[in-house]
Structure 1
Amino acid sequence: MVSAYNDLDRPPLDERSLQRALMTPGGFVSAVRVLPSVESTNTALIGAAQDGAPHASVVVAEEQTAGKGRLGRTWTAPARSGLFVSILVRPELPPAAWTWLPLLAGISARDAVARACRLEIGLKWPNDLVVAAGELADRKLGGILCETVPGEAAVVVGIGVNVSLRQHELPVPQACSLALAGAESTDRDPLLRALLRSFGDWYTRWSEAGGDADAAGLREAYLRACVTLGREVRAELPGERTVTGRASGVDRAGALLVTTADQRETAIGAGDVVHLRPAAGN
């Protein structure tokens, strides 16, 4: 009998099993599709949302050929080597509160991965999953991209996690995978279930708090998990501007606060943040 896949370390996900486990009465997930290959799970789910897909619909891909990253970047990974998943939400909250969705997704993924894999995981602002300790500290394990759905009061939350990538498969030298970081398990099925349940729990708490991240406990949890805070950083902003200083906090809208050498505090709502190494002798 010919196998449906050729890498025994990377078994496929079972759509029906995931549906039975996740689409339960009182549960968060309303629909789950597992697709063999797509350009981008975000693009696929945005199309489904415009066709009327319900809140909490989920699309998972075994392979992405043009995954979307922040600032228009694209990326690829070997089939079944990671979690490539997008979640549709239709928040019944003022759009001003939606700025917390990328951070909510980050803390949800961080909690799930740390618990399922028994690893120390941190968040590099706003929502990159990174190794939090040891020789591989700051190596990126995954990222998140939230996109609004054109013509809809809806957001697609895309989450990508490097699960079983080997050293030669990493997209960039500063990346990492759960396997390389020493995860106790690299089974994508329980990890995906944990991720979606964690997201559902945090989303429900945030929604019931009216989008108030403090009342939901979201801001406090994020501050504990964010490894950017207290670090010297360089924020690369739109328009080729940069701000350099110490990451001193996260404000009520989820923006990173950077205190510059002249003690001015700047709120960074969008941009790339680079962790700077301490100067020699410091």
Structure 2
Amino acid sequence: MTNPPGAQGDPSSGPGEPKSARWTDLGRPPLNSASLRRGLVRDGGHGGLYRDVQVVQRTGSTNHDLVNLTVRGDAEEGAVLVAEEQTAGRGRLDRQWTAPPRSGLFFSVLLKPTEVPVHQWGWLPLLAGVAVATGLSRAAGVDTSLKWPNDVLVTVGGEERKAGGILAERAGDGGVVIGIGVNVSLREDELPVPTAGSLALAGAVTTDRDPLLRAVLRALEDWYGRWRRAGGDPAVSGLQETYAAGCATLGRKVRAELPGDRSIVGEAVAVDGDGRLVLATGEGVQEPVGAGDIVHLRAV
């Protein structure tokens, strides 16, 4: 995979980056792409999911770059692009995602599940959410949960806060780029909004991004492999059950803000076979929600 347009340098190698910039924040050391490749790319790229791992110092959006590389035919499945800083990161519903350099994990992965029926691809963002939550729980030692569909929540001062998010985008025929952003070492005064959180604020045992990134990518490889072997079936792969077990939205009264300025209030009772959130409304109707913003109104 070649360097994406606009990406500046590799912090593990130095070119394109002022020498004085590498260690301006000693509490936030740079990632080492060569070390990550050695740990994640097996058997020359033929023994597992990952084919290449590149770390760039700064770019607008890793998703945008990796989608473009895929469309041009310059990226294979399993390509991973990581940025130390994103200047135009996006979340769901076109929300902006900004954070100080080297304060989090900002990366994208190219997946090509061509053997899985396209109608099951809607599970990929939820699968990524499970991978992020489980990987971070193991490596950072923090309790994580998921707000439907794939916001990663941590507890800070007894309150649920969003520490991560996921954005999936189609990339040409048969490709999906999964973009993941996680706040790792952000301090309270660095948070973009009061409802945001970080692993550090949640009491993580480590904020070393290298093992955190490896843990998330290995969990993603594991869950993606299970899902593919099951032909994309969320029940057979165990994905649907695992997602429901870690979903903080289930069992709560929520408001679903839907496209077209429509909203539904009800209790979140299930995640169906298509990954939709099922709401039981006051009228006794169960209504599946496939897109929209969910607001938690009542704690479990």
TM over 0.5: yes
Provide the secondary structure at the position in 2 that maps to 1:138.
strand
- Residue 166 of structure 1 aligns with an amino acid whose one-letter code is R
Q: Does structure 2 conserve the Cα–Cα contact (< 8 Å) formed by 1:110 and 1:121?
A: yes
How far off its partner does 1:157 sit? 0.2
Contact 2:156 2:197 in 1 (8 A): no
* Structure 2 partner of 1:66: 88
Q: Which ranges of 4 or more aligned residues in structure 1 deviate by more than 4 Å?
A: none
Query: Which of 64, 79, 83 is equivalent to 2:105?
Result: 83
Q: Secondary structure at the match of 2:136?
A: helix
Q: CA 1:263/1:173 → structure 2, altered by over 3 Å: closer, same or farther? A: same
Map of 1:141-156 to 2, 5 A cutoff?
A: 141-149=163-171, 151-156=172-177
Cα deviation for residue 72 of structure 1 reads 1.2
Q: What's the CA shift string for 1:26-50, capped at 9, x where partnerless?
A: 2221111101001101001001111
Q: Which of 96, 99, 102 is equivalent to 2:119?
A: 96
Q: What is the match of residue 257 of structure 2?
A: 236
Partner of 1:114: 137
Higher mean C-alpha deviation, range 16-25 or range 105-114? 16-25
CA 1:134/1:85 → structure 2, altered by over 3 Å: closer, same or farther?
closer
Question: What residue is the counterpart of 2:292 in the other structure?
Answer: 271
TM alignment of 1:15-26, pairs within 5 A: 15-25=33-43, 26=47
Unaligned runs of 5+ in 2: 1-18
Superposition pairs for residues 1-282 of structure 1, below 5 Å?
Answer: 2=20, 4-25=22-43, 26-52=47-73, 53-92=75-114, 93-131=116-154, 133=155, 135-149=157-171, 151-277=172-298
Q: Which segment drifts farther, 140-149 or 66-75?
A: 66-75
* CA deviation profile, 1:195-226 (whole Å, cap 9, x unmatched): 11100000000000000000000011001000
| Amino acid in structure 2 at the alignment position of 1:54 | E
Deviations 1:169-218 (A, max 9, x none): 10110000000110000000000001111000000000000000000000
Report the aligned-residue RMSD.
1.4
Structure 1: distance between partners of 2:108 and 2:291: 21
Shift of 1:75: 2.1
1: CA distance, partners of 2:57 / 2:185: 18
Please say if residues 136 and 181 of structure 1, whose CA atoms lie closer than 8 Å, have aligned partners that are also in contact: no
How big is the shift at 1:3? Answer: 6.3
1: distance between equivalents of 2:235 and 2:242?
9
With the length of structure 1 as denominator, give the TM-score of the two structures. 0.95
> For the residues of structure 2 that align with 1:262 and 1:3, how far apart are their CA atoms?
59
In structure 2, relative to structure 1, the CA distance for the partners of 1:134 and 1:48 (3 Å cut) is closer
Q: Partners of 2:162 and 2:123 in 1: how far apart?
A: 21
